[in-house]
Structure 1
Amino acid sequence: MILLERNYKWLQPVLSISISLLLLVFTYWSININFDMTQMFSYMSTYLYLLWFNGFVFLSTKFTQFFDKYLPFEKHSSLRLTVELVSLFLMAFIFFYIVMVILNIYGAIDEPHVLNKNNTIIGIFHSLVLLLYSSLTITDDFLRKWRTDSLKIEALKQDKLRAENRALQAQLNPHFLFNSLNVIISEIDHDPKLAKQFALDLSHTYRYVLQSKDVESVTFETEWEAMQAYIHLHQVRLGEGLKVIITIDSASNQKKIPPLSIQLLLENCFKHNQATLRKPLSITIFSDGNHFTIENNKQPKNNSADTYNIGIQYLKESFKQLDTYASILVEEDDSTFKITIPLIEA
C-alpha cells in the first residue's frame, strides 16, 4: 500500500488478483467436498468472480476520487468514511448478486437467483472481504495525501524559520550600524588604531551574518569567533557601561548550533537592558562542552519585548530542527536573566 511507491505500483493489481484467487479457492473448497483445483478454471463462475472482485477494487479507487471532490476528508472525515464504506459494501453485495443472476441465466448453477440464506451468507462474506481490501486502498490514498501534506507543512515551516532568521539578522542593520559608524568617526582622531580594529571587527561581524544566511548549522567555534568581534564592538561602544566575564571550554568547539544563536542572545542583552557608567550591564558567558549559557543583570529599557519573544521562539524551533530532543532553558528572577542552549553533537 503506502509502501508501494511509484516504481512498484504493478504490485497492487498482482496483490488484488492473488487475494481474489485465494478467496475463490477457499470458497470452492468449503462448498464442494470433491473439489479439484485443476477444474476451477473450467467454471464460468471463476471468471465472473475474478472480474467482480478485481473490477470492484478498481471501482473503489474511482469512488475515492469522486468523494474527494464532493466530501473531502479534511472537512468531513467521519461522515466521509462512513458514507464511503457503506456505499462500497452495498455496491459489492449488489454486484455479487448480479453475478449470481448471470450464472443462473446461463445455467452455471442450480440455485434460484433469489436472496436465499446460502446466497445471502456467501454474498455478505465476500462483500465484507472485498470491503476490507478496498478500505486498504482508501487508507493508502489517505496516507499518501497526509504524507504529502505533511511534507508541504514541513517545507513551509522551514521557509518560515528562514524568514525569521533573515528578520533577526536584519536587526544588525539599522541602529547597530549607525551607532558603529559614529564610534569609528569619533575614534579616528582620538585613537586611529582602535578605530581600525573596530572597523575590522564590524566587517567580520557582517561578513559572518551574510555567510550564515542560508546555513542550517555551524560549529560553536565558528560562531564564537565571530561573536568575540561582536562583543568587542559593544565593549568599545559602551565602555565602562559593559562588563563581560567569559569562560569557554574548548570541548565546545566542534559542537553544532543554529547560526547566529549566540548573536541573538547577546543582542537581547543589549537591546532590552540599559548599559551606562552608573548602571553597567554585566554579562556572564559560560560553556561546559554540552551547554552554552548567557546570564545578565536585569536593567530593562522602556521598550517592547516582542522581538525578544520572537527570537527565543525562533531559537527553540531551530534547535528542534537539529535535534528533536534539544531544549532551551530560560531562568529569570527580579534581578537576573539566564538562558542556556544545548550544544549538539556533530
Structure 2
Amino acid sequence: MRKTNCRIGFNDGMLMVIGIPLLSFIIPIVFFNCRFNRSPFLTWDKYFTTMMITTVIWLGNRYIMIYSRKKYSIFDEVRKRIIFQSLLMFIFTVTANTVVGIFTKEIFADEHAAYFSETDILIHSNSAALFCTIMIIAIYESIYFMHELRHSVEETEKLKRENLAAQLNALRSQVNPHFLFNNLNTLSSLIPESPDHAVDFVQQLSKVYRHILEVKDEKSISLKDELEVLNAYTFLLKTRFDKNLQVNINIPQEKLQKKIVPLSLQILMENAIKHNIVSSDKPLHIDVFTENGSLVISNNLQMKNQVNESTGIGLENIRNRYKLLSDAPVKVTENETNFTVSIPLIDN
C-alpha cells in the first residue's frame, strides 16, 4: 500500500522534490526575463536564490494548509477553509517574499537595474511568489479533492454492498428454521382445536412470507404496506403467545405514505421477542407509534438470562440500509424499564 502523509492527505515528498526545482527554474525566465544566451543571464546564484525563496514559500504554505484542514476538518466546511487558507497564504507569501528578498536583492539588482526599477523588481518578485502559491494551491487541492471523490465513491460502493448483505441477512433472519418451526407447531395445535383459526393462521403466515419475497430487492417501502404485514406478523405471534404478548400500534393516517426500510418492523419485533421474557407472569408489551418524524418501537425490558450476548446484527442491518436513504440516524435508547428504537420516516 502506498504511504500517505495523514496531515496533507497524500505523500507529497516526490512532488516537492520535482516541483520546487522546476518552479525555481521557470520563475526567473518568466518573471525576470532571464536567459542563458543574453543579459540578464540565468546564473546558478540566481537559480539557487530563487530555489531558497520558493522552498520557504512552499513549506510555509504547506503548513498553512495543514493548519487549515485541522481547523476546518469537516468536508462540508471546505468553502470556509479555502477562504481562510487563501487569505493566510496570501499574507504569508507577500511577507516572506519581501523579507527574504531584502537579503537577496543584490543578486538580481545589479544586472537587472538596466531593465527594471526597484519597484518593478518588487512587483515582479511578489508576482512570482503569488504564482508559486497559486500553483501550490492548485496542485494540492486538486489531489485532495480527487482523494475525497475516490473515498466518497468507495464509501458509496461499500454501503451498497452492505445494503445487499443487510437485505439478505434480514431475509434470513425472518425465514429461519426456528420461526417456521414455531409457527408449524402452533398450526398443528390449532387444526384439531380451531380449524377456522388455523385457516386464518395459514393465510397470515402466507402473507408474511409473500411480503418477504416481494420486498427483498426494494430499498424502501411505504409505512402503510409495512404495517399491513406487521399486523399479519403480530397475528402469528399473538396466536402463539396469546395474552402474554400485547402489541399496541398507533399510527396517524397522514404518516402512512411515509417510507421506511423493508422488514425493519419485523426485525425489531422479532428482536423484542428473542431477547425478552414472554410469560403470563411477565407479559411483553410492544408499542409502535410516531414521534418527531420517526417511527418508534418500544418494549418493556425483561431480559432473558442468555448465555451468549446479542450480536446486534438486526439493528446494524437496519442502520446500514438507512445510510443509503437518509442522513437521519437510527436511534437506540435503553433504560431500566424500556428498550426503544426510533427509525426515520422518509418522504416520498
Residue 87 of structure 1 deviates from its aligned partner by: 3.4
Cα contact 2:169–2:317 (8 A) shared by 1: no
Report the Cα distance in structure 1 between the residues aligned to 2:292 and 2:41, rounded to whole angstroms: 83
The verdict on how the C-alpha distance between 1:297 and 1:80 changes in structure 2, with shifts beyond 3 A counting, is: closer
Residue 186 of structure 2 corresponds to residue 180 of structure 1: no
Cα contact 1:272–1:305 (8 A) shared by 2: no
The verdict on how the C-alpha distance between 1:102 and 1:338 changes in structure 2, with shifts beyond 3 A counting, is: closer
Residue 174 of structure 1 deviates from its aligned partner by: 1.6
**1:110 maps to which residue?**
39
Alignment of 1:24-103 (within 5 A): 72-73=3-4, 77=8, 80-81=11-12, 84-85=15-16, 87-95=18-26, 103=35
Report the Cα distance in structure 2 between the residues aligned to 1:208 and 1:184, rounded to whole angstroms: 20
Q: Deviations over 1:63-101 (max 9, x none)?
A: xxxxxx9x6536784783355235312222235568899
**1:222 maps to which residue?**
225
Report the Cα distance in structure 1 between the residues aligned to 2:323 and 2:125, rounded to whole angstroms: 53
Residue 223 of structure 1 deviates from its aligned partner by: 0.5
Report the Cα distance in structure 1 between the residues aligned to 2:223 and 2:265, rounded to whole angstroms: 9
Cα contact 1:243–1:282 (8 A) shared by 2: yes
Residue 205 of structure 1 deviates from its aligned partner by: 0.8
Q: Deviations over 1:297-323 (max 9, x none)?
A: 22222224424x333333334334322
**1:58 maps to which residue?**
none
SS in 2 for 1:293: strand
Of 160, 163, 178, the residue aligned with 2:162 is 160
**1:5 maps to which residue?**
none
Q: Aligned partner of 1:187: which letter?
A: L
Residue 143 of structure 1 deviates from its aligned partner by: 1.6
The verdict on how the C-alpha distance between 1:279 and 1:95 changes in structure 2, with shifts beyond 3 A counting, is: closer
Residue 173 of structure 2 corresponds to residue 171 of structure 1: yes
Cα contact 1:93–1:127 (8 A) shared by 2: no
**2:149 maps to which residue?**
147
Report the Cα distance in structure 2 between the residues aligned to 1:103 and 1:227, rounded to whole angstroms: 82
Identity %: 28
Residue 245 of structure 1 deviates from its aligned partner by: 2.7
Cα contact 2:33–2:40 (8 A) shared by 1: no
Report the Cα distance in structure 1 between the residues aligned to 2:39 and 2:250, rounded to whole angstroms: 94
Residue 315 of structure 2 corresponds to residue 306 of structure 1: no
Cα contact 1:223–1:259 (8 A) shared by 2: yes
Report the Cα distance in structure 2 between the residues aligned to 1:192 and 1:296, rounded to whole angstroms: 32
SS in 1 for 2:11: helix
Q: Deviations over 1:1-57 (max 9, x none)?
A: xxxxxxxxxxxxxxxxxxxxxxxxxxxxxxxxxxxxxxxxxxxxxxxxxxxxxxxxx
In the alignment, structure 1 segments of 5+ residues that lack a partner are 1-68
In the superposition, the TM-score normalised over structure 2's length comes to 0.67
Q: Aligned partner of 1:129: which letter?
A: F
Residue 127 of structure 1 deviates from its aligned partner by: 6.9
Q: CA RMSD in A?
A: 3.2
**2:338 maps to which residue?**
336
In the alignment, structure 2 segments of 5+ residues that lack a partner are 47-106, 113-120
Larger deviation, residues 117-126 vs 82-91: 117-126
The verdict on how the C-alpha distance between 1:84 and 1:230 changes in structure 2, with shifts beyond 3 A counting, is: same
The verdict on how the C-alpha distance between 1:113 and 1:232 changes in structure 2, with shifts beyond 3 A counting, is: closer
The verdict on how the C-alpha distance between 1:80 and 1:131 changes in structure 2, with shifts beyond 3 A counting, is: farther
Report the Cα distance in structure 1 between the residues aligned to 2:205 and 2:299, rounded to whole angstroms: 23
Residue 295 of structure 1 deviates from its aligned partner by: 2.7
In the superposition, the TM-score normalised over structure 1's length comes to 0.67
Larger deviation, residues 78-87 vs 172-181: 78-87
The verdict on how the C-alpha distance between 1:275 and 1:152 changes in structure 2, with shifts beyond 3 A counting, is: same
The verdict on how the C-alpha distance between 1:181 and 1:102 changes in structure 2, with shifts beyond 3 A counting, is: same
Cα contact 1:88–1:131 (8 A) shared by 2: no
**1:264 maps to which residue?**
267
SS in 1 for 2:12: helix
Cα contact 1:85–1:135 (8 A) shared by 2: no
Residue 177 of structure 1 deviates from its aligned partner by: 0.7
Of 208, 213, 218, the residue aligned with 1:210 is 213
Residue 269 of structure 1 deviates from its aligned partner by: 1.3
The verdict on how the C-alpha distance between 1:79 and 1:330 changes in structure 2, with shifts beyond 3 A counting, is: closer
**1:201 maps to which residue?**
204
Report the Cα distance in structure 1 between the residues aligned to 2:36 and 2:18, rounded to whole angstroms: 26
Report the Cα distance in structure 1 between the residues aligned to 2:39 and 2:346, rounded to whole angstroms: 75
**1:295 maps to which residue?**
298
The verdict on how the C-alpha distance between 1:98 and 1:197 changes in structure 2, with shifts beyond 3 A counting, is: same
Q: Aligned partner of 1:306: which letter?
A: S
SS in 2 for 1:80: coil
The verdict on how the C-alpha distance between 1:111 and 1:338 changes in structure 2, with shifts beyond 3 A counting, is: closer
